[in-house]
Amino acid sequence: MSVWSGIRQVSQTEIAYCAGLYEGEGNCHTRRGAKGADLQIAMCDKEPLLKFQGVLGGNLSGPHPPKSPEPNAKPYYTWSMGNWSKVEKVINLLSPYLSPRRLGQFELAQLNKPTRKVKVYNHA
């Protein structure tokens, strides 16, 4: 069985893989002073992020300098998504596979959902 992710047809197995990676390494945070939310995964290994991006889209950046001054610290890569309509779609795809903690982050993001302003023109 396949599900439309907005990018291409993807299998439930691919979605479950993405949910597992997100569960272990991801975060969802709301924006200060603005509506919306960002999804992000940061890790040293690029290949899992490439697979994640191939399934769900988003942006991949890096390598970034290590966050720690430790001599064995490694550079890291970041996957991110900030477009609300895409974030909402990813939330809906991953939710069935995620823990209550991650679902709680998504609930907070939903509270910060941007509202569309509709312009009303008077054609009198």
* CATH number assigned to the domain comprising residue 12: 3.10.28.10
Classify residue 48: in a domain, yes or no: yes
Classify residue 116: in a domain, yes or no: no
**pLDDT of 89 over the 90 cut:** no
Classify residue 86: in a domain, yes or no: yes
- Average of per-residue pLDDT across 29-44: 80
Q: How confident is the model at residue 112 (pLDDT cuts 50, 70, 90)?
A: confident
Classify residue 120: in a domain, yes or no: no
pLDDT top residue among 12 and 29:
12
Structural domain including 27 reads 2-111
**pLDDT of 6 over the 60 cut:** no
| 8 A C-beta contact, residue 114 and residue 35 | yes
What is the number of domains present in the chain? 1
Contacts of 26 (CB under 8 A, 6+ apart): 39, 40, 41, 102
Look at residue 21 in the predicted model and tell me its pLDDT: 97
pTM for this predicted structure: 0.79
